[in-house]
């Protein structure tokens, strides 16, 4: 018997990998998005992605594990980030709104307010750069103050850019890349580019799952959906051009051109055919029989039977058919040798 039968599995689930690496699930997901942890497809059957045992062993063998790995994915909010950079929280927010500090994630508090999260490592790198010293102390430059007075806020846009990069790195085919781009466009924009219903069906199947924030349909979920959708004109135009290019590449794949169904290829999954409702049995009343005897009356009778006019008769159950005895209603004549012998028996003569 091979040793691999009782040996450790080659891959493990994401939750177990996070526990073995000393990370919370949010930290683990962020490490996957940043490319710190490599995952592999879980195989057929929609098992999701998994982590190879060799990848876990590689991370555990690094120097300073697990503190070094935890520090690479540590995120901070506005107050903690400002304290880390040694600046007031108001200046930190202004730098983030100008797009100089890009958030990596967000969550909604109990008041449904967006709380942006930033990589602690990136904030330290920004502070240590000598070119950014004038932004951390002193008066904000006039051009940047004008953008702030105009209401510029690039935090959501920068987060969408990081999210799109993660989805494109994980995409394995042109349809998945097209779905990653379409996830940041409004449905009306996608419908304007992808007009073929079959191609739109393929695109909808390739759409990635949105970040889970609240119950679907709740105000928190709607707010997260709005943050996921591009708002600026130049961002929308760039995404539209990227989606157009991705769709053109996906059209070169004949197997993925049509949805799974009849004529979609030998390996396509068949879709269930709609089953027509059972025709209703109609009792042939004397009036219907009289019309059937008239010239041209039989087609009308059949049409009435097909449409189900008249009272419906419930078909007898199998148990009722078995319990039926001669003399308790119409029954079929027995077939075979047994029926032939029964018909040959002499009937008793009544005195």
pLDDT tens digit sequence for 333-347: 555 666 666 665 555
Q: Cβ of 268: how many Cβ atoms within 10 Å? A: 15
Quote the percentage of the chain above a pLDDT of 70.
68
Predicted TM-score (pTM) of the model is 0.69
- The token pair at 35 is 């490319």
Q: Tens digit of pLDDT for each residue in 96-121?
A: 999 999 999 998 888 889 999 999 99
Rounded Cα–Cα distance for residues 139 and 155 (Å) = 22
Distance of CA 181 to the CA centre of its chain: 15
What pLDDT, on the 0 to 100 scale, is given for residue 303? 39
Answer whether 28's CB lies under 8 Å from 49's CB: no
Band (4; pLDDT cuts 50, 70, 90): very low
Core vs surface per residue 213-231: b (16+ CB within 10 A) or e: beeeeeebbebbeebbbbe
Band (42; pLDDT cuts 50, 70, 90): confident
Q: Tens digit of pLDDT for each residue in 49-74?
A: 899 999 999 999 999 999 999 999 99
Q: Tens digit of pLDDT for each residue in 184-226?
A: 999 999 999 999 999 999 999 999 988 777 777 888 888 889 9
Q: In what order do the strands lie in the sheet with 40-41?
A: 11-12, 49-52, 40-41
Q: Please list, in sequence order, all residues whose beta carbon lies within 8 angstroms of the beta carbon of residue 64, skipping any fewer than 6 positions away.
A: none
Q: 120-128 and 78-85 are packed helices; what angle lies between their axes, rounded to 10 degrees?
A: 30
Q: Tens digit of pLDDT for each residue in 142-169?
A: 999 999 999 999 999 999 999 999 999 9
For residue 13, what are the CA distances in angstroms to 54, 96, 227, 312? 13, 36, 30, 55
- The token pair at 127 is 């502070």
């Amino acid at each position: 018997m091979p040793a691999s039968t009782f040996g450790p599995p080659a891959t493990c689930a994401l939750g177990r990998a996070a526990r073995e690496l000393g990370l919370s699930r949010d930290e683990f997901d962020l490490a996957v998005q940043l490319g710190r942890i490599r995952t592999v497809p879980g195989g057929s059957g929609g098992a999701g992605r998994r982590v190879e045992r060799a990848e876990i062993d590689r991370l555990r063998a690094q120097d300073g594990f697990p503190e070094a790995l935890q520090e690479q994915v540590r995120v901070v909010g506005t107050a903690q980030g400002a304290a880390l950079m040694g600046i007031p929280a108001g200046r930190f927010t202004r730098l983030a709104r100008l797009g100089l500090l890009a958030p990596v994630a967000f969550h909604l508090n109990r008041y449904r307010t967006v709380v942006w999260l930033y990589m602690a490592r990136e904030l330290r790198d920004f502070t240590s750069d000598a070119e950014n010293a004038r932004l951390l102390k002193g008066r904000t430059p006039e051009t940047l103050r004008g953008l702030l007075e105009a209401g510029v806020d690039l935090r959501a846009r920068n987060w969408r850019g990081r999210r799109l990069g993660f989805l494109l790195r994980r995409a394995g085919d042109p349809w998945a890349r097209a779905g990653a781009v379409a996830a940041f466009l409004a449905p009306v924009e996608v419908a304007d580019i992808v007009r073929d219903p079959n191609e739109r069906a393929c695109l909808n199947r390739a759409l990635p799952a949105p970040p889970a924030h609240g119950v679907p349909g709740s105000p928190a979920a709607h707010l997260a959906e709005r943050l996921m959708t591009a708002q600026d004109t130049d961002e929308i135009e760039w995404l539209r051009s990227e989606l157009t290019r991705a769709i053109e590449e996906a059209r070169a794949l004949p197997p993925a051109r049509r949805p799974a169904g009849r004529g979609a290829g030998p390996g396509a999954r068949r879709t269930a055919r709609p089953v027509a409702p059972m025709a209703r049995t109609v009792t042939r009343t004397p009036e219907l029989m009289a019309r059937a005897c008239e010239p041209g009356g039989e087609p009308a009778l059949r049409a009435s039977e097909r449409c189900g006019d008249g009272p419906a008769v419930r078909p007898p159950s199998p148990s009722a058919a078995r319990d039926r005895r001669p003399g308790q209603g119409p029954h079929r004549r027995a077939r075979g040798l047994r029926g032939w012998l029964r018909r040959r028996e002499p009937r008793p003569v009544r005195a």
